[in-house]
Structure 1
């Protein structure tokens, strides 16, 4: 397991007197970049941080995680590192939603500090296990199919699209994440005690119609399910403003933030 480093928690927005931090976990094939723009829409007293997984960005020289547990161990240490600065809300999109749930469970087993809330976006409940619907992109996809998927969902910047060497690196990263994702297994009985918010896209055909009910069964605390316009990544405008749909970011300040 790789210990949390300065390059592991990427803080793209700092508030002058922060009440909490929004900590984001990446989706399959993604890095911290898609979250940086949220610095302009999070509440003025909220810090923004994203967890960098091994093998990319500032951790480029590290090897990719070999399986789900290895990545979850690494992400847990990184989130706990972010938590040393005070209260936080934990967010994960798609594969990152499962990772955020798993990390929250692991932190609870260790005795905290737990997030004030868990927010999972565009993810089916992990309790149903890894199904064909969740296995997209697929390990069997060609390079062209993977590149097409990344173009469609805006995961590749223009300079990457025009650079064969950067394309190759993006494909390597995506395939590494797919391999990790495909080793995921839910452990029966795992639930979260903290408030849980589930966000899904109204036109996302990846999400089960009863995903909300399945997620609610994994929560022992407050629960809400919000359906937003668009597909797996919503509409571009909704994605840009996604933090504005997270009530936990404007909730009364936790006592733990005193003296921060």
Structure 2
């Protein structure tokens, strides 16, 4: 398990109020997170977690509870989870972010401020099993065009606000898409500072 804390310029001299924990299932994700770390607001510290060395990022099974890998990652991230934080996972890393949110909600009540998942279908469990594993954390689901029906399943796992945001086409400039994601993080996590 490798945790990267990219260098962040501190303009205010104040410690970050919220950590954005981003799970990486590929080298591309790590590079993307490094770029984001320089664009986020000063009060947000990005923590990139490379989980690809320990296991393939794979879909979770909410009926079995959080996986052994998610429990190991949660133990490793203890210093970050015990304070205010948000979680982000894309593609299959989104399922691990969901599992971490479940664990953090039990172990560190009210510290998980937001869960962001991107480009990932919801876990495949029907009601009422989904309700038994639902989290009480605001969730933002970011999805590519044409995939909204697959994203609607997340609703069954959420007992607070659920926001759905369609991302631009993949043909759109990657830097534009990254800027949009950073704005979403800054807006959502910036509201937590008040």
TM-score normalised over the length of structure 1: 0.59
Is the CA contact (8 Å cut-off) linking 2:120 and 2:151 kept in structure 1?
no
Corresponding position of 1:8: 2
> Which whole-Å CA distance do the structure 2 matches of 1:79 and 1:113 have between them?
16
**Greater fraction strand:** 2
Corresponding position of 2:113: 116
Alignment of 1:45-124 (within 5 A): 45-53=43-51, 55=53, 64-65=54-55, 69-84=67-82, 86-112=83-109, 114-124=111-121
> Which whole-Å CA distance do the structure 2 matches of 1:101 and 1:82 have between them?
16
DSSP-derived class of the 2:120 partner: coil
DSSP-derived class of the 2:153 partner: helix
Q: Report whether the alignment pairs 1:252 with 2:188.
A: no
Q: How big is each residue's C-alpha offset from its partner over 1:5-62, in whole Å with a ceiling of 9 and x where there is no partner?
A: xx7321114343212111101135656333111022211221111112263xxxxxxx
Alignment of 1:166-245 (within 5 A): 188=130, 189-202=132-145, 207=147, 209-231=148-170, 235-241=173-179, 242-245=181-184
| Pair 193,66 (structure 1): closer, same or farther in 2 beyond 3 Å | same
Corresponding position of 1:32: 30
Is the CA contact (8 Å cut-off) linking 2:155 and 2:162 kept in structure 1?
yes
Listed as ranges, the gaps of 5+ residues in structure 1 are: 1-6, 56-63, 130-186, 255-260
TM-score normalised over the length of structure 2: 0.77
| Pair 245,54 (structure 1): closer, same or farther in 2 beyond 3 Å | closer
> CA shift at 1:104, angstroms?
0.7
Aligned length: 177
Corresponding position of 1:44: 42
Greater Rg by CA:
1
| Pair 26,67 (structure 1): closer, same or farther in 2 beyond 3 Å | closer
Structure 1 ranges of 4+ moved more than 6 A: none
DSSP-derived class of the 2:45 partner: strand
Q: Indicate the structure whose relative CO is greater, using CA pairs within 8 Å and at least 6 residues apart.
A: 1
DSSP-derived class of the 2:40 partner: coil
Is the CA contact (8 Å cut-off) linking 1:20 and 1:45 kept in structure 2?
yes
Q: CA RMSD in A?
A: 2.8
